[in-house]
Amino acid sequence: MLRYALLGILNYSPMNGYELKQFMDNSTSHFWHAKLSQIYTTLKTLEEEGLLVSTIEAQQERPDKRIYTITDAGRGALRAWLEQPLTEIEPAKDTLMLKLFFSAQVSKETILTQLRLQRALYAQVAEQFGALAEITQMPRSPELAKDALLWEATRSLGERLIVVYLGWLDDTIKLVDTQF
C-alpha cells in the first residue's frame, strides 16, 4: 500500500525519500505511516517498475539527493488504484485491546498504569491535531480546493477517533478502578 501513498504524494511534486517521510509524518501519519527504510526500498522498486524516475542532485558535504518524479505509467497505476473500490472494511489491529482482553489475572494496578499511560499518549496526539486543523483548513489556491476538502475530511475522522479513544479510556479507567 505504501507504493500508492508515495505515488500520490509524488503526483503533487517531485521529492526525495527524506522529504517523502516528512510529508507523510505531517499529513497522513494518523492513517498511514512508514519508516524511512521502507520508503527507500519501495521507491527503488517503483523505479524498477517504471512508475517513477529519479535524478541525482549533487550536494557538497551532505549525501547527494535522489529526487523521484512520477511517470505517466505511475499516474496510470495511481489512478487505477484510486478508482478501484474497496469492498471490505479495514481489519483492525489494536495491541492495547488484545492485552486488555487477556488481562484478567493481571493486577489492577498494572492495568490502571497501562490505561493511564495510553491516556497521556492519546492526549498528546489530540494536541497535535489542533495544529493539523490549521493546515488543512487554511485557504488555498482554487486548484487545490478539492484536495483541501478531502484532506480536511480525513483529519476530521482522525480527530473524532481520538475523542472516542480518550472518552473510552476515561470510562475504562473508572470502571477498572471501581469494579475490577
Partner DNA sequence: ATTATCATGTAAAAGGTTACATGATTTG
Partner DNA sequence: CAAATCATGTAACCTTTTACATGATAAT
In the structure grid, which three cell numbers stand for residue 45, read together? Answer: 522498486
Under a CB-based contact definition with an 8 Å cutoff, are residues 10 and 16 in contact?
no
Pairing outcome for strands 15-16 and 65-70: antiparallel
Question: How far is 71 from 13, CA to CA, in rounded Å?
Answer: 12
CB of 91 to DNA, least distance (A): 6
Binding residue (CB under 7 A) for DNA from 30, 44, 75, 119? 44
Judged by CB under 7 A, the chain residues 59 through 78 that form the site for DNA are: 59, 61-67
* Type and span of the H or E element at 20: helix 17-27
How many residues of this chain bind DNA (CB under 7 A)?
28
Judged by CB under 7 A, the chain residues 133 through 172 that form the site for DNA are: none
Judged by CB under 8 A, the chain residues 66 through 105 that form the site for a copy of itself are: 78-79, 81-83, 85-105
* Type and span of the H or E element at 69: strand 65-70
CB of 96 to a copy of itself, least distance (A): 6
CB of 33 to DNA, least distance (A): 7
